[in-house]
Amino acid sequence: MESKLKYVISKEGIIKFLVLLFGCTTFALIADSNSYSYPSAKTWAFAAYIISWSISLLFYFFHATGLARQMNCGGSCTYDGFDFLWSWLSTIHILGASIAFSIYVTGSSGSAYYAKQASAAAIGFMTFALYAVESFVLRSYAPANAGYIATWRGWLKTAILVGGAASFSLLVDSGYSWCRTSCEIGLTYALSAYCIAWGISVFVFLGRMFLPASKSSAKPFTVFQFVWSVISCLLFLSASSCFAAYMKCSNFDYNYCRERLAGVVVGFVTAILYIVDAVVHRPQR
């Protein structure tokens, strides 16, 4: 990769600059609207934007000044490899933060308070897209044992894991309790189905990342991944249907109703992603 000032005008440098510009704008709008203290999800989103932006700024500074060349200490992971990994992690981080923040946008639609929050949410999603583009551009620098996450199949599995985690997190955060007032078996089933499908998928993802290629690409592992994607699709479809049936919301101005609606939508989207995952990982004859 280009170093010193040449990096600034390179493709990687321009993308990194846009990431920093959009990221800074996002958390500046949140800070200016003073909307980050409540609820806790907004506080987390605000912190996520700042952390991702700060570390990305350091990567940009070290590249622009040429110090990055002094940080390659050998081994399978170079400085550019760490840059790729941070872009990949930030893509997930910023996507989650943008979803969380957008759920809690409040205020009158014509007020400056609402406009700043809505703008922050929109620019946050743009920042997520820029991080995804940066990760794609830097994919050739991915460490050898993490090459799977640099492929589009790896990105698909990552999107599934993010969607699954968001689904059951939103279900729990929207007011689920284990038989505290009334034992609503539909929500209990939905939570169990989400967690089981997501949990096994995490182990499949880790297996694709860290197992030798001869094992992770072998037919038994591929067949298991295909079968589990089909089962997970059915689990998410049924769980999201139960979640929707037990939503019990008549006014979506309430935060818990927004969380439930978002959880249902993300659950169905994750089910669709599982279908795609099953198709692309189907065993070849």
Question: Can you give the CATH number for the domain in which 86 is found?
Answer: 1.20.120
Is 276 in the same domain as 161? yes
pTM of the model: 0.76
Is the pLDDT score of 53 beyond 70? yes
Which domain-ending residue is among 88, 113, 144? 144
Pair 197, 260 in one domain: yes
**180 and 103 in one domain?**
no
Give mean pLDDT, residues 169-178: 74
Same domain assignment for residues 129 and 170: no
**Which of 91, 112, 144 is the C-terminal boundary of a domain?**
144
42 assigned to some structural domain: yes
Examine the domain organization and report whether 156 and 93 are in the same domain.
no
Mean pLDDT of the chain: 83
Among 122, 144, 166, give the residue marking a domain's end.
Answer: 144
Mean pLDDT along residues 188-210: 88
The conformational region for residue 107 under phi > 0 = left, psi -120 to 50 = alpha, else beta, is left
Domain extent for 60: 5-144
pLDDT of residue 180: 55
pLDDT digits (tens, 9 = 90+) for 102-159: 888 877 777 888 888 889 999 999 999 999 999 888 888 877 666 778 788 888 888 8
**Measured CA distances, 248 to 106, 139, 230, 243, 244 (Å):** 21, 44, 29, 10, 8
Residue 68, in any domain of the structure: yes
How many structural domains is the chain composed of? 2
CA distances from 89 to 29, 55, 134, 179 (A): 23, 11, 11, 36
- 13 & 111 share domain: yes
Looking at the fold, whether 171 and 121 belong to one and the same domain comes out as: no
Q: Which of 68-72, 189-193, 238-242 has the lowest mean pLDDT?
A: 68-72
Please indicate, yes or no, whether residues 116 and 157 belong to a single structural domain of this protein. no
**Are 252 and 174 contained in the same domain?**
yes
Same domain, 173 and 238: yes
Q: Are 101 and 120 in contact (CB under 8 A)?
A: yes
The closest of 252, 271, 249 to 190, measured between CA atoms, is 271
Q: Are residues 128 and 9 part of one domain?
A: yes
Do 120 and 186 share a domain, yes or no? no
Residue type, 36: Y
Residue 230 domain flag: yes
Q: Give the pLDDT band of residue 209 (cuts 50, 70, 90).
A: confident
Residue 285 falls within a domain, yes or no?
no
pLDDT reported for residue 177: 62
Q: Report yes or no: 243 and 260 within 8 Å, Cβ to Cβ.
A: yes
